[in-house]
Amino acid sequence: MRVFLVVKSLVPSHLKKDFDDWYENEHLSEAKQSFSAISASRGWERENGDIHYAYYEFDDFEKANKILKSEALKKMINIYDKKWSHQIDRTRKIITISQEI
C-alpha cells in the first residue's frame, strides 16, 4: 500500500519565490532524507497559486504515522519555522492510496 504524508502550506505572495527556491534547493531533499521516505514531490495548486503541497511517500501507514510524532519531524518543523518566522501556515495529513489502475 502506498501512503503519503501531505504537507499543505499557504504561502503569502511576497514570499512565494524565496519559498519555492528554498523548497527546491534545500527542504524537499532534506525532509525526504530525514523522514526516510521512498520519494518526495511537491507542487503548487492551480486554482490558488499561494497553496503549496509536498508529498512524502512511505510503503505503509505505520511508517508514515510515526513521522507525525517523530524527532525527525520536530527537527524539520524547527528548520521551517526558523527560516519563515511563522509566516507560513501549514497542515499535515496522512493519505493512503486505496486503488491504483
Q: Read off the pLDDT band of 86 (50, 70, 90).
A: confident
Residue 34 is inside which H or E element, if any?
helix 28-35
Q: Half-sphere exposure of 37 toward its Cβ, with a 13 Å CA cutoff?
A: 26
Residue 35 is inside which H or E element, if any?
helix 28-35
| Spatial strand order in the sheet of 39-44 | 39-44, 51-58, 3-10, 89-96
Give 19-24's long-range contacts (Cβ < 8 A, gap of 24+): 19/52, 19/84, 19/88, 20/44, 20/52, 22/83, 23/52, 23/54
Instruction: Look at residue 94 in the predicted model and tell me its pLDDT.
Output: 97
Instruction: Look at residue 1 in the predicted model and tell me its pLDDT.
Output: 80
1, 92, 96 from 99: Cα distances, Å: 9, 22, 9
Q: For the whole model, what pTM was predicted? A: 0.93
Q: Are 95 and 7 in contact (CB under 8 A)?
A: no
Average of per-residue pLDDT values in the chain: 95
